[in-house]
């Protein structure tokens, strides 16, 4: 790991305050130094001791409570912070900051810090959508403060609507994105393949697999945000093609192969996240197959291993493959890496009960050509993409 970054979390008084405990715990697991500042009303919702235990740092509650420390704490934490996150942020703290009020530890620290400040609002829907609150939010955005939109759903007060604290993993991702505003792929050409391929049986039928495309799309987005020129070649997927990426939709293995080979030589990094079919229908029927006997057999024949072909013709490209395994994860993945001449392989256990094909999250081990294994905890596919490029660019390990 590189240097340890400090995240200062401001917890304000809402029913969602307990969710900030999960955020602290996840940040600690990601090796951040975490300091928590609670407003007086936040401390009514959650015992500061819980934050103290999880963050392993003293929780700062109220500016005037402890005269020994208050005079320096808000300045020292403001200086120490690499990022501040207000989670949950009540309309009250948003209103205070928008109007320059600094009357407690949290608001003074926000005012004193030069680090980026992110608000994750949570409120009753009518309060959140109130024009004054929206005006305050827009004003703060204009000053460069970041906001993580609340979700819609059933709120603690029983109402339905917008105001639910955003998912903690989304908040975590935002913090990491803010901290590592990397442009380390600037000028690089990155090709990503994603989704399933399909093979047609007749004009109306085909075989395919369960790949959702989510992992590949997340990789394309991450590469784009890090400054790369990205081409995404995808089989059929319900995901929305990312903005600012050259996007091509294909259906079959051979269509994917053709498109990939057209640009392969000029690429710097190639990530093959697609679940490419290994077998195709031996004989395509031009006419719709009619119902006849009780049994119907369909013959399949081997199709091209695109990645293996890329490995054979590799020049200076960094070639990254995926290995979906249901047993012997590491050994099978390493064997694939060698056979296909890869620089990295991302291995995931498709039997893991925690994650599914359509899941937002993934649990993977990234293996380098030298055999080094980096096992990542369960995280969003976007964060997996982030870790992958961190490793490839050697930023962190
Ligand atoms: N791959 C490919 N072309 C194929 C099959 C796989 O390019 N015909 C690529 C995938 O995009 C992935 C990697 O090879 O990056 C491994 O895919 P996977 O399905 O896990 O492995 P296979 O090599 O197909 O082996 P098996 O199905 O026996 O596990």
Does 285 share its domain with 213? yes
Does 1 fall in a domain? no
CATH number of the domain within which 195 lies: 3.40.50.10300
**CA–centroid distance, residue 164 to ligand 1 (Å):** 40
pLDDT tens digits along 92-150: 999 999 999 999 999 999 999 999 999 999 999 999 999 999 999 999 998 889 999 99
143: number of Cβ within 10 Å: 9
Residue of the CA atom closest to atom 12 of ligand 1:
322
Does 91 fall in a domain? yes
Q: State yes or no: 40 annotated in a binding site.
A: no
CATH number of the domain within which 149 lies: 3.40.50.1950
Does 20 share its domain with 44? yes
The first and second tokens of residue 295, run together, are 């049994």
Indicate which atom in ligand 1 lies nearest the CA of residue 322.
Answer: 15
Asked if residues 280 and 303 have their Cβ atoms less than 8 Å apart, the reply is yes
Q: What is the largest CA-CA distance in the chain?
A: 88
Residue 242, pLDDT score:
87
- The total domain count for the chain is 2
**CA–centroid distance, residue 305 to ligand 1 (Å):** 7
Residue 355, pLDDT score:
74
Residue 396, pLDDT score:
44
Residue 65, pLDDT score:
59
Does 167 share its domain with 200? no
Q: State yes or no: 336 annotated in a binding site.
A: yes
Does 293 fall in a domain? yes
Indicate which atom in ligand 1 lies nearest the CA of residue 274.
Answer: 11
The first and second tokens of residue 328, run together, are 């012997």
Q: Is the dihedral of CA 372, 377, 381, 382 positive or negative?
A: negative
Does 361 share its domain with 316? yes
Q: Among 192, 278, 303, 339, name the best residue to mutate to test ligand 1's pocket (greatest count of ligand atoms within 8 A of Cβ).
A: 278
Residue 1, pLDDT score:
39
Q: What percent of the chain has pLDDT over 70?
A: 94
pLDDT tens digits along 174-225: 998 888 777 889 999 999 999 999 999 999 999 999 999 999 999 999 999 8
Q: State yes or no: 340 annotated in a binding site.
A: yes
Helix axes 91-98, 105-112, angle to 10 degrees: 50
Does 175 share its domain with 236? no
Indicate the residue among 119, 145, 179 that finishes a domain. Answer: 179
Indicate the residue among 179, 199, 224 that finishes a domain. Answer: 179
Does 44 share its domain with 159? yes
Indicate which atom in ligand 1 lies nearest the CA of residue 304.
Answer: 8
Indicate the residue among 142, 159, 179 that finishes a domain. Answer: 179
Give all strands (DSSP E) within 167-317, no chain letters.
Answer: 189-194, 199-202, 205-207, 229-234, 246-249, 269-272, 279-281, 300-302
Asked if residues 183 and 246 have their Cβ atoms less than 8 Å apart, the reply is no
| Model-wide pTM > 0.75 | no
10-residue mean pLDDT profile of the chain (397 residues): values are: 82 96 96 95 95 94 60 76 97 97 93 94 95 96 91 83 94 89 89 98 96 96 93 96 93 98 98 98 97 95 98 97 94 97 94 75 94 91 91 70
Asked if residues 190 and 223 have their Cβ atoms less than 8 Å apart, the reply is yes
**CA–centroid distance, residue 190 to ligand 1 (Å):** 19
Does 122 share its domain with 220? no
Residue 181, pLDDT score:
74
Q: State yes or no: 372 annotated in a binding site.
A: no
* Ligand 1-lining residues (CB < 6 angstroms): 253, 272, 274, 276, 278, 303, 305-307, 321-324, 336
Sequence-ordered list of residues with C-beta below 8 angstroms from that of 208, at least 6 positions apart, any chain? 196, 197, 198, 199, 235, 236, 277
Indicate which atom in ligand 1 lies nearest the CA of residue 324.
Answer: 20
Residue of the CA atom closest to atom 23 of ligand 1:
336
Measured CA to CA, the distance from residue 234 to residue 275 in angstroms comes to 10
Does 374 fall in a domain? yes
Direct distance between the N- and C-terminal alpha carbons of the chain, in angstroms, rounded to an integer: 6
Asked if residues 23 and 171 have their Cβ atoms less than 8 Å apart, the reply is yes
Does 296 fall in a domain? yes
Which is catalytic among the residues 49, 75, 132, 157?
157
Does 114 fall in a domain? yes
Indicate which atom in ligand 1 lies nearest the CA of residue 332.
Answer: 29
Residue of the CA atom closest to atom 21 of ligand 1:
323
Does 167 share its domain with 197? no
Residue 21 vs residues 45, 376, 379: alpha-carbon distances, Å: 12, 21, 17
Q: Among 215, 219, 276, 300, name the best residue to mutate to test ligand 1's pocket (greatest count of ligand atoms within 8 A of Cβ).
A: 276
Does 373 share its domain with 317? yes
Measured CA to CA, the distance from residue 313 to residue 340 in angstroms comes to 10
Does 184 fall in a domain? no
**CA–centroid distance, residue 323 to ligand 1 (Å):** 7
**CA–centroid distance, residue 194 to ligand 1 (Å):** 12
**CA–centroid distance, residue 374 to ligand 1 (Å):** 21
Does 47 share its domain with 195? no
Residue 147, pLDDT score:
95
Does 118 fall in a domain? yes
Indicate which atom in ligand 1 lies nearest the CA of residue 323.
Answer: 20
349: number of Cβ within 10 Å: 21
**157 part of the active site:** yes
Q: State yes or no: 225 annotated in a binding site.
A: no
Say whether 250 sits in a helix, a strand or coil: coil
Length of the chain: 397
Residue of the CA atom closest to atom 6 of ligand 1:
276
Does 283 share its domain with 365? yes
Does 235 share its domain with 339? yes
Residue of the CA atom closest to atom 3 of ligand 1:
305
**CA–centroid distance, residue 308 to ligand 1 (Å):** 9
Q: Among 257, 305, 319, name the best residue to mutate to test ligand 1's pocket (greatest count of ligand atoms within 8 A of Cβ).
A: 305
Find the domain containing 251 and state its range: 189-393
């Amino acid at each position: 790991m590189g240097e340890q970054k400090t995240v200062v979390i401001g917890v304000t008084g809402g029913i969602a305050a307990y969710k900030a405990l999960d955020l602290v715990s996840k940040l600690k697991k990601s090796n951040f130094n975490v300091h928590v500042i609670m407003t007086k009303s936040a401390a009514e919702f959650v015992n500061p001791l819980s934050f103290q235990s999880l963050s392993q740092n003293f929780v700062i509650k109220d500016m005037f409570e402890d005269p020994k420390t208050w005079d320096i704490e808000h300045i020292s934490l403001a200086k120490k912070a690499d990022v501040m996150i207000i989670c949950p942020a009540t309309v009250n703290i948003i209103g205070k900051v928008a109007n320059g009020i600094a009357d407690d530890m949290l608001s003074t620290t926000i005012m004193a810090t030069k680090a980026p400040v992110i608000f994750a609002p949570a409120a009753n829907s009518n309060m959140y959508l109130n024009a004054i609150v929206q005006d305050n939010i827009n004003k703060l955005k204009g000053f460069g403060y970041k906001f993580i939109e609340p979700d819609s759903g059933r709120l603690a007060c029983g109402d339905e609507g917008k105001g639910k604290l955003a998912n903690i993993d989304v908040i975590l991702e935002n913090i990491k994105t803010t901290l590592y505003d990397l442009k380390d792929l600037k000028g690089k050409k990155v090709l990503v393949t994603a989704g399933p391929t399909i093979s047609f049986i007749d004009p109306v039928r085909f075989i395919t697999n369960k790949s959702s495309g989510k992992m590949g799309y997340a990789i394309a987005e991450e590469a784009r945000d890090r400054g790369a020129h990205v081409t995404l070649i995808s089989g059929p997927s319900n995901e929305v093609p990312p903005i600012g990426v050259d996007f091509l939709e294909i259906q079959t293995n051979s269509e994917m192969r053709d498109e990939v080979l057209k640009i392969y030589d000029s690429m710097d990094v190639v990530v093959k996240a697609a679940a490419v079919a290994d077998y195709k229908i031996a004989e395509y029927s031009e006419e719709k197959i009619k119902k006849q006997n009780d049994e119907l057999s369909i013959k399949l024949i081997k199709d091209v291993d695109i990645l293996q072909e890329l490995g054979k013709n590799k020049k200076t490209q960094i070639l990254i493959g995926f290995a979906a395994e249901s047993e012997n994860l590491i050994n099978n993945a390493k064997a694939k890496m060698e056979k296909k001449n890869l620089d990295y392989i991302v291995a995931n256990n498709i039997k893991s009960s925690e994650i599914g094909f359509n899941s937002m999250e993934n649990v993977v081990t990234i293996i380098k050509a030298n055999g080094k294994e980096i096992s990542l905890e369960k995280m969003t596919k976007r964060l997996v993409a982030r870790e992958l490029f961190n490793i490839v660019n050697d930023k962190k390990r």
